[in-house]
Chain A
Amino acid sequence: DAGITQSPRHKVTETGTPVTLRCHQTENHRYMYWYRQDPGHGLRLIHYSYGVKDTDKGEVSDGYSVSRSKTEDFLLTLESATSSQTSVYFCAISEEAGLGEKLFFGSGTQLSVL
């Protein structure tokens, strides 16, 4: 299995509080992605990174920011969490852009915003 660790695995927080989710990889892959998974919507891309300090927006980036100061870590921050951000968040990594055959997923973070 690809070395991807997401932390925390579960988090409950209150509306208006900041939250940071961490994705750590040991594969030295260039590309890292944050998706959210919601019933009826499948997986939607929030942000992605194509290198250290290089990031771009996905389909549903509003209310989220990311940072990548090291190859191995990709942080997703909710500056002021809202109930609509209750979801399961998945990190994924890839050696190459776009080719889904080389996309590996973490186990997910269940976030509940009350």
Chain B
Amino acid sequence: AQSVTQLDSQVPVFEEAPVELRCNYSSSVSVYLFWYVQYPNQGLQLLLKYLSGSTLVKGINGFEAEFNKSQTSFHLRKPSVHISDTAEYFCAVVSYNTDKLIFGTGTRLQVFP
């Protein structure tokens, strides 16, 4: 069975500082990986995805993530955060042989001025 672990439940950071949100997954088969963002009182929006090809993927709002197969990780990074990046971020995985998207428990990113 597949699973996703987000190692940090909360990440506080000052504006313009870099940030990394960590995600590890487990699966016995190849996977697709995703990061979603949830702003307060809203549903989830896709931030970026890894399906195949280049292991460094770029998403919206200046975020990027790197797929590392050997470490089974898909960490999300941004070189300089803004107040508006304050939100909850979810990592998700779907294995090639299933049709169910499994989410991690989420990381709350709080950006301070």
Chain A residues within 8 Å of B, Cβ to Cβ = 4, 31, 35, 40-45, 48, 50, 58-59, 90, 92, 97-101, 103, 105-108
Contact = CB atoms under 8 A, between A and B. Distances in A.
B22 to A, nearest CB: 14
Contacts of A50: 99
Nearest to B108: A39
Interface residues of B, number: 25
A90 to B, nearest CB: 6
A42 B46 contact: no
Interface stretch (B12-20, B60-68, B71-79, B90-98): B90-98
B51 to A, nearest CB: 7
Contacts of B25: none
Contacts of B34: 100-101
A45 B100 contact: yes
A90 B103 contact: no
Interface of B: 6, 9, 32, 34, 36, 41-46, 49, 51, 90, 92, 94, 98-106
Given A42-B104, A43-B90, A101-B46, 8 more contacts: A4-B43, A45-B102, A98-B32, A98-B98, A99-B51, A100-B36, A101-B32, A108-B42
A76 to B, nearest CB: 15
B106 A97 contact: no
Contact of B49 (A31, A101, A105): A101
A105 B43 contact: yes
Residue of B90, B100, B101 contacting most chain A CB atoms (<10 Å): B101
